[in-house]
């Protein structure tokens, strides 16, 4: 937020999250953490049980689509395959001058703009699930020609979910593959590290605490020192020591190539989902 708190509070537009599943809830939590008041944020959901959950956890109201779609800022967080139906139902209620932020993987700003009334600003964003605890990272790309004030609003909206990184829209599929899907790759490694610790004789709770702390601490080390990961890795790797023995096994298993292949496959899938 660039404004003083008072000015930001008075300038805070109303927000609706359309489709509040995993990612919609994570973004919603980030919006509230970023300083929006719960009474200025609503969600549009399909199931009453989900509405009750969101109201209990976040204090926000759930409203019908016609009401939500008329808000100043719309966060579209349905699956790419559900997007056309949602926008078709919402379009008649969306006001010109409003801002639509879509987090749908692969879906281009051109496709979004074509389904919305003229005069609606469109921004494509790719957040990730750590947004739920304010530790996410979002890749942000406005539609060409979007008013910078609207882009800034989108940035402020997502800042409570974590870091916001501007990327050209052409890079969104790659960003989706690295940071949108990235938590799943990291969690797979974490699961494996915990299992390996158990296999090596550690109690599960101890293995989990050691492995999780190691992942979080290593990310913090890279962020705070700004040093290249390979340099930091060398500092862990004593000649003839334990780390060298372990890394040799990861190289033998082709871990680096597997990560490359995973990101390529996810990027291609993002492109395909865009339609
Ligand atoms: N899960 C993730 O880690 C990430 C997901 N995304 C994107 O976020 C979007 C949502 O993904 P998830 O949250 O994982 O899926 P999800 O299935 O958990 O959430 C989608 C929600 O939208 C609701 N919905 C669908 N049509 C609706 C309608 N017409 N009206 C009201 N609600 C409706 C569904 O009931 C569901 O709760 C996708 O487009 C995905 O590409 C983006 C970044 C990360
Ligand atoms: O798996 C997916 O398609 C979504 C997009 C990025 C993370 N989850």
CATH number for domain 182-274, candidates 1.10.1040.10, 3.90.650.10, 3.40.50.1000, 1.10.3730.10? 1.10.3730.10
Question: What residues does each domain of the chain span?
Answer: 5-169, 182-274
Q: What's the confidence (pLDDT) of residue 84?
A: 95
Nearest CA to ligand 2 atom 5: 105
Q: Please give the angle made by the CA atoms of 74, 152 and 16, to the nearest 5 degrees.
A: 15
For ligand 2, mutation pick of 176, 187, 270 (most atoms within 8 Å of CB): 176
**Architecture of the domain spanning 5-169:** 3-Layer(aba) Sandwich (3.40)
Say how many Å lie between the CA of residue 87 and the centre of ligand 1: 14
The rounded Å distance from CA 104 to ligand 1 centre is 8
The closest-lying atom of ligand 1 relative to the alpha carbon of residue 22 is 13
The yes-or-no verdict on residue 9 having pLDDT over 60 is: no
Bridge pairing between strands 41-44 and 61-62: parallel
Q: What is the pLDDT of residues 136-187, one digit of tens each?
A: 999 999 999 999 999 999 999 999 999 999 999 999 999 999 999 999 999 9
Radius of gyration of the chain measured on its C-alpha atoms: 21
Note the ligand closest to the C-alpha atom of 24.
1
ipTM greater than 0.90, yes or no?
A: yes
pTM for this predicted structure:
0.94
100-126 per-position pLDDT tens digit = 999 999 999 999 999 999 999 999 999
Our mutation pick for probing the ligand 1 site, out of 21, 29, 178, 185, counting the most ligand atoms within 8 A of Cβ, is 21
d(CA 115, CA 107): 12
Gap between the Cα atoms of 260 and 136, Å rounded? 22
């Amino acid at each position: 937020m660039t404004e003083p708190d008072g000015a930001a509070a008075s300038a805070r537009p109303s927000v609706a999250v359309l489709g509040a599943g995993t990612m919609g809830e994570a973004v919603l939590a980030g919006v509230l953490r970023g300083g929006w008041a719960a009474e200025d944020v609503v969600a549009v959901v399909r199931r009453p049980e989900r509405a009750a959950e969101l109201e209990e956890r976040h204090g926000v109201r759930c409203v019908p689509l016609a009401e939500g779609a008329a808000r100043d800022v719309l966060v579209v967080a349905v699956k790419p395959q559900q997007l056309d139906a949602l926008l078709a139902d919402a379009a008649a209620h969306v006001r010109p001058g409003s801002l639509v932020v879509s987090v749908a993987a692969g879906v281009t700003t051109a496709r979004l703009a074509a389904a919305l009334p003229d005069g609606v600003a469109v921004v494509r964003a790719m957040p990730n699930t750590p947004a739920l605890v304010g530790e996410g990272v979002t890749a942000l790309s406005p539609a060409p020609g979007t008013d910078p004030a609207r882009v800034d609003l989108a940035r402020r909206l997502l800042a409570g979910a974590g870091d916001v990184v501007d990327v050209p829209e052409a890079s969104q599929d790659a960003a989706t593959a690295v940071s949108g899907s990235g938590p799943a790759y990291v969690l797979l490694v974490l699961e494996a590290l915990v299992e390996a610790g158990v296999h090596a004789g550690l109690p599960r709770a101890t293995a989990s605490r050691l492995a999780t702390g190691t992942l979080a601490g290593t990310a913090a080390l890279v962020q705070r020192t700004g040093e290249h990961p390979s340099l930091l890795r060398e500092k862990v790797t004593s000649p003839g020591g334990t780390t060298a023995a372990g890394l040799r096994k990861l190289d033998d298993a082709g871990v680096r190539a597997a990560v490359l292949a995973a990101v390529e496959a996810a990027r291609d899938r993002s492109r395909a989902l865009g339609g």
